[in-house]
Amino acid sequence: MGTVRADDGVRLWAARAGDGGTGGAPVVLCHGGPGIWDTLADVAALLPGREVIRWDQRGCGRSQRSGPYGIARSVADLDAVRAHFGFDRTALLGHSWGAQLALRYALAHPGRVSRLVYVSGTGIDDESTWRPPYHAAFGRRLGEHRARWEELRERGDSRTEAEDRELAVLQWSADFTGPDPDRALAHAEAMATPWLGVDHTCNRTINAEVSRSLATDELRQRCAALDVPVLIVDGEQDIRPRRAVDSLAAALPDVTRTTLRGAGHLPWTEAPRAFSAALTAFLT
């Protein structure tokens, strides 16, 4: 574990694992959020013999709580991580918002990316194409916990740290599938342990910019020109409709798509063998 200095001096936490014994390109993991911390240790464990870098984005977890926040700033920070570890080229794996970040990095620096794994992202169309059914499914998945989630959410910035954690656990529990709500809550509790806090300013700022940047001809054209192999991995039961990713899959010239049965938004948790097999085949 160590510290990466971004080009503006902000300190970013990063951890390196593996010795590159397989001879394949290193992999840099980009966590979701925005505004939370790296939750991809289990993904790194599914890549034995490969050099893997995990890091907390600025404002998140163990990294310095300092802006500015934005897509270009996040891309520059990711490039600082790549350069810090001495990689000329690296494979990227991004989850949720991190999938969007990894994509934007590949569009900005295609020569520095060997392969891109896009996990549980939401494509490049306007968010209105998938958010209404997502919100409906989210409410159903919360079930009896919905009233408590709404109560905590309405408190806004007046929430205590303990309440912020409780809100996150309830919200994250909807990202897991299966008939047992207690098991979903247990998965979400594991994500929130240790609790490193949410940077809500980071979350709001980046999400707003992403929303404004989607569904443009320029973005589609840049994706169509991307000369990097891409693997799109979806959990079949992710409450974000998987058709949202069709726009990206249609735009990319070199894309493979894998949908994992019995898995939600974090497919490596509920379908680890299938997720590992898909990664191994693509990265090898």
Alpha helices by DSSP H, listed for 10-159, are 41-45, 71-84, 97-108, 131-142, 146-154
Distance from C-alpha of 231 to C-alpha of 37, rounded to nearest angstrom: 23
End-to-end CA gap in the chain: 26
Q: What is the DSSP letter of 258?
A: E
What domains are defined for the chain?
2-129+200-283 (3.40.50.1820), 131-191 (no CATH)
Do residues 56 and 48 touch, judged by C-beta distance below 8 A?
A: no
Residue 1: the pLDDT is 73
CA–CA distances in Å: residue 108 to residues 38, 69, 75: 23, 17, 8
Tokens found for residue 166? 């409780």
What residues are paired with 54 via a beta bridge? 15
Structure confidence at residue 37 (pLDDT): 98
Q: Are 203 and 33 in contact (CB under 8 A)?
A: yes
Q: What is the mean pLDDT of each run of 10 residues along the chain (284 residues)?
A: 93 90 85 97 93 97 96 98 97 98 98 98 96 96 95 95 97 90 94 96 97 96 98 97 96 98 96 96 94
User: Tell me, what's the pLDDT at 21?
Assistant: 63
Residue type, 232: I
pLDDT at 208: 97
Q: How many CA atoms lie within 13 A of 100 on its CB side?
A: 25
- Indicate yes or no: pTM above 0.75: yes
Residue 277: strand, helix, or coil: helix
